[in-house]
């Protein structure tokens, strides 16, 4: 599955306002919860529980918070940019700017892992990260992701 096939423009925020991890998760989760027709508070709690196991701040300015939900029908992918950067307990201790939020049904471990790996691969490119940081709107984000998907 390509990243662009999983993301909905409604779940893209190009200017996250939160200044801490919990705030970012709440902000990223809001449109994802609406799209998936799930409880926002429950989704945030699932994400926070996952963060307690170890930060999803993978370094290089990237965070990929993720979780699994029992009653979810289809995977939902959200995206956000924090221009100022957030302390996300990243492994490199540096601020996190680019976020992909992945929520999958509880029984779809293979798909969950494949999409996480694909996102990680795309975000290894400094050029792609720079393009994402400079994107003017949701459509530009989609085009950048689409192009990156094709290059994999």
Catalytic (active-site) positions:
66
Q: Measure Cα distances from 75 to 50, 86, 106, 116, 136 in Å.
A: 17, 26, 10, 12, 26
The residues pairing with 132 across neighbouring beta strands, listed in sequence order, are none
Q: Are 62 and 86 in contact (CB under 8 A)?
A: no
In 10 A of CB 150, how many CB atoms?
9
Distance CA 62, CA 88 (A): 9
Give the integer Cα–Cα distance in Å for 24 and 65.
Answer: 10
Which residue in 103, 66, 67, 61 sits closest to 82, CA to CA?
61
**Residue pair 118/75 in contact by the 8 Å Cβ criterion:** no
């Amino acid at each position: 599955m390509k990243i662009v096939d999983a993301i909905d423009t409604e779940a893209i925020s190009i200017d996250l306002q939160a200044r801490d991890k919990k705030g970012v998760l709440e902000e990223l989760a809001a449109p994802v919860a609406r799209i998936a027709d799930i409880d926002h508070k429950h989704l945030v709690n699932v994400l926070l529980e996952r963060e307690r196991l170890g930060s999803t701040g993978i370094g290089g300015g990237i965070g990929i918070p993720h979780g699994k939900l029992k009653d979810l029908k289809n995977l939902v992918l959200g995206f956000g940019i924090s221009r100022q950067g957030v302390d996300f307990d990243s492994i490199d201790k540096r601020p996190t700017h680019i976020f992909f939020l992945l929520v999958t049904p509880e029984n779809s471990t293979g798909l969950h892992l494949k999409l996480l790996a694909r996102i990680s691969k795309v975000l290894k490119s400094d050029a792609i990260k720079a393009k994402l940081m400079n994107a003017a709107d949701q459509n530009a984000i989609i085009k950048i992701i689409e192009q990156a998907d094709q290059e994999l």
